[in-house]
Homo-oligomer: A and B are copies of this chain.
């Protein structure tokens, strides 16, 4: 067995990838693209056929993917790609500037924090809670989103929040005041947490509660065209550094980070989707 190092699972997946690179392939092509001996390719293709991901047209026409392959990735969305692209870049940022970063995306009618660089920051503020919802209107993430998203999308979200019963969503019921706030955000280029003391999170270690502080988020958008893919928020403590100071020293690096995330996401989602064959 010459290639005993690579597991059959990985080989089968590379067969699928090879087939995505060009439809209706002949065995020889598939085997060559996947880098496998033909007899191995046949065996793997048989398994994929058995499992329903591939079908065989005829000897001469070769093989073809079936719609079942979509089940392997339909749950992966653009917002997941953004988060994936952002994570290593966010870690680098926090190692350099110390303050922790968080990234949030819209999910339905709320803003969800998908990742944070708590582990990299020497300043322990919040524990990292994956998938934690963030208040749309009071949080920096949500405000940045609303300030920079297209008009039609903002109208949809605000209308939905306006029907909400939660007090936290009430600002949506005062549209002109709220629009004024958003104009300010667009002018400055960043959003800030409004509302005061952050509420304690469940599961927070006892020691940290002693460090209960005024914590503010400064958020900027990650764009794609006119859409907001996600927002990045830098969380800092009032008592240590002022808004003015943060804006002067950290805002431009934060914006550069957002641009870098935009570039990386674009690469991730366009690579390989060009011409086929």
Contact = CB atoms under 8 A, between A and B. Distances in A.
A75 B20 contact: yes
> Contact size class for A?
35 or more
Nearest to A10: B51
Interface string A6-28: 01111011001101111110000
Interface in A52-76: 53, 57-58, 61, 64-67, 69-76
A84 interface: yes
A268 interface: yes
A23 B80 CA distance: 10
Interface stretch (A42-50, A139-147, A208-216, A237-245): A42-50
Contact of A71 (B20, B23, B85): B20
Contact of A9 (B24, B51, B70, B75): B51
B130 A47 contact: no
Nearest to A265: B67
**In the complex this chain forms, how many copies of it are found?**
2
Interface string A239-277: 000000000000000000000000000001100110010
Contacts of A272: 71, 74
Nearest to A273: B74
Contact of A50 (B10, B24, B57, B69): B10
B17 A131 contact: no
A67 B84 contact: yes
Contacts of A8: 7-9
- A-B pairs with the 6 shortest C-beta distances? A20-B75, A69-B73, A9-B12, A10-B51, A61-B130, A72-B72
